[in-house]
Each structure stands twice: as structure tokens, then as C-alpha cells.
Chains A and B, each alone.
Chain A
Amino acid sequence: MSRSAKQWLDEIHALDLPDRVKIMNVCGGHERSITMAGLRTALPANIELIPGPGCPVCICPEEDIYEAIQLALKEDITLVAFGDMLRVPVNVPKNDIRSLQEAKAAGADIRPIASPLEAVLIARQQPERPVVFFAAGFETTTAPVAAMLVEGAPENLSVLLSGRLTWPAVAMLLDADTSGFDALIAPGHVATVMGLEEWRFIPDKHGLPCAVAGFTPESLLAAMYSTLRQLREGRVFLDNCYPELVRPKGNPTAQAHLRQAMQVTDANWRGIGSIPASGFSLRDACAAHDTRRIFPSCADDLRKRAGQMPPGCDCAKVVLGKIYPNECRLYASGCNPRHPIGPCMVSDEGACRIWWSGGVRDNTQGKAAQATASPS
């Protein structure tokens, strides 16, 4: 019989741990569960839970969003995108259109969707009109986009792809030896699609504990207990604390669709720069559905300035787990969900937005503020 959250917490409190242990998660869903369940306050004070690169909207390159805005404004098309993307601001002079939402208000035909199936439906309903699907996301989201293309998308539907892989960002942090964490909780639904084994490099190459977790407090606490016990015993391995969904090799059909429609390329991450082999691009076989080949005029290479976050915004440091959300200079000080300045305050998976939802309103430094990161 599986243990309750309280039993896992008792087990964790009983462990003889080092003075300070930092556990990173790389999934907005994990961070939301941790914050909403108040796990930070329930754990021993020497355990820090750090939200890392787990928000695909937050790291979607500024130039990609700008490209989508320009396409929607200048071309006679319908642009569809996941709802989160519509509010993400780009850096433009004052009074210029700075988000897809503002472009929509200015008359562009932009529609929020919740599924690639909706993009297909919209394209079929208006076969004479080009439909551009601005698709940002990690592997879990990019795989259905690939499946849509493999199954056969309507001729008038193209994809402006901004897909990213999760693990290369973690690898980059670890390779740079600036990771700042002692253990990793790996993302449950990314692993459901891509497989448990993708995360084996964490213990094998870097000697750090790693456990894949689901989204219940019990599953997250089981993963935390696993990594803490690994640290305590000095024997690190890759643990699967979400076995009900995560198989060693993941979902083979979904991976085959990704391979068939897309190739892995070096890719830009907003505020971070280029990360090797961390993005997806469409293969030549899908050229007829590649927005960048159909409308090359809206891609502005001059905008590819790595590190492009709004002035004063520390989202890049938040995404990399270098600071906590409320250590950003703008958190609750000009930036909030009603008036977001950085992407981490826009997306439901952004750490700033999640901490705000969890009741954190103060912009103070570090751990004292963490203690309030529980439901209000």
C-alpha cells in the first residue's frame, strides 16, 4: 500500500541530512503542486526546493513571439496558439504592439487553442485561408504537434515551431558546474513520453540523485525522499516514483512521430541563449507545413539577441534556478499576473505566477519569503 504525504514527511524528517540540500524541479506542474500543497513549509528547514527550467512559455525566444505577431499583423492569415502565449510580451518601443493579445485587439485574426486538433479543425473550416499554428512547448506538447503532422494536416495549416527539449537545459547547468542543486526531481509527463532513461545522465555522468515524480504531493515527496536518501547513503541512482505512467522507454509511438516530423537542433532559450541540441525543427518532409519556409519574410534575424528579457526583469535567473521568484527586482513591484512584465509571471507554469497564486506577495530575499509560499 502506498504511503500518505504525512508518512513521507515523517520519513524525510527522520533522515540525518547535511546542513543544506537543494532539490531542483524542472516542471511547472511540479512547482504548482509543491506550492499549492505547502510542501516548502512542511519539509525540514535545511531542504530547499528550487524551481528550475520548467516553463516552455517562459523560455520561448522573444524573436519567435515577435515573428508570430508580425505574421498575424502583416499576412492575411489566421494565427492560432496556446492561450498562455498570447499574453507574453516582447521588447518593442512604447506604443508598439507587444503581444499577440495586443495584435488581436488591433484586428489580427488570432485565436487561442487548447489542442492541435483545434488547429486542424479551424484549418478545415476555412480551406482557402492559411492557418499558422504557433507551437511552443516541451516534449510533452511537441509530440502531439508531430503526431498532427504525421497523421496528415490540412494543406493550409503550417506550424511556427518553438519546441524545446527539457534535459539539455539541465545538462547545460550541470556541465557549466553552476547548477546550484544537489538533486533533481525529473518531470513526470516529459518522462511519460520520452522515457525514464533520458534522465540517467544525472546520476551516471554527474553523480547526483534523480527521481521522476508525478504530480500528487505523495509522488513528489516520494521522489524527494528517494533523492535525500540517496544523498544520505552516498549511492546515487535514477528512481521512478511515477511508475503508473512512466516506462523506461516512454511512449514509443510518440517518439517515432517526433523523429518522423522533426529533427533536434541547437536552439535559443529566452534570457539564456543557445543550448546545443535542445530544440526541434521541422524536417524537409514537412516543408509544406513549415511556417518559416512559407513566410520567411517575418523572421527577423536581427532580433536574435540572446538574453532578451524586458528591462529589469530577472526571469532568466528565475528560470535557471539562480534566484527565487520573489528575489526578482520586479516581483510584486510592478510585475504581477494582472500586469505581467516577464514571461514567468504570464504562464500558468511560470514560477513567478505560481508563487503569486500561492500567496507570495512580498519582494524580499530568499528563504524568509519562501516560508510563505503556501496557499493563502
Chain B
Amino acid sequence: MCLGIPMQIQAIDGFIAHCEARGVTRDVSLFMMQDEPLAAGDHIVVHIGYAIQKISPQEARTAWELYDQMLAAGD
């Protein structure tokens, strides 16, 4: 449960960000990110629907490559 998924913010409405990752879109809470200015285009790490930290585009890409490998190897 402690895995975080990197997503890109497409639009922000209050504390809710509409995010995308690999074609999947989700509404994500930014309520725990009030000390970090965020804008459309930024990448965030999402855990159970809440952003926990900002991440660079490169780091987001690296993380997704790992998850692809894990999904391919999973049971």
C-alpha cells in the first residue's frame, strides 16, 4: 500500500487535480501539498488518491519504467 504512482497534472480545481499517467486519468487530492506550489504540467507522486510529493518529469519516467517491469513480472 505504500507504493506511489507518478502522475502528471492536467488541470487543478481547488484541492483536486485532474491527473494522467499512461492514458489513465484520475482526480487526485492536493490537500497534503499546500506547502508546494503546483501547476498544470507538473508531476506528482500519488498514494491512495493523494499527492504526497512533487517529482521531476525524468524521475516520473524512471518510476514508470520500474512499474512496467513489476507489472510484467507480477503474479
Contacts and interface: CB of A to CB of B under 8 A. Distances in A.
Interface of A: 27-29, 32-33, 36-37, 56-57, 82, 84, 114-118, 137-138, 140-141, 143-144, 147, 150-151, 187, 189-190, 192-193, 214-217, 244-245, 251-254, 257, 337, 347-349, 356-357, 375
Interface string B18-32: 000000000101011
Contacts of A28: 1-2
B59 A144 contact: no
A218 to B, nearest CB: 8
Interface residues on B, range: 20 to 34
A150 B56 CA distance: 28
A36 B1 contact: no
Contacts, number: 116
Interface in B49-65: 49-50, 52-53, 55-56, 59, 62-63
B3 A215 contact: yes
B50 to A, nearest CB: 4
A141 B45 contact: no
A217 B49 CA distance: 25
A114 B48 contact: yes
Given A114-B49, A141-B47, A36 B70 contact: yes
A151 B53 contact: no
A115 B49 contact: yes
A33 B52 contact: no
Contacts of B37: none
A172 B70 CA distance: 32
B52 A251 contact: yes
A258 B73 CA distance: 35
Contacts of B70: 32-33, 36
Contacts of B1: 28, 56-57, 82, 84, 137-138, 140-141, 347-349
B56 A244 contact: yes
A37 B75 CA distance: 14
Q: Which of B2, B15, B34, B63 neighbours the largest number of chain A CB atoms within 10 Å of its CB?
A: B2
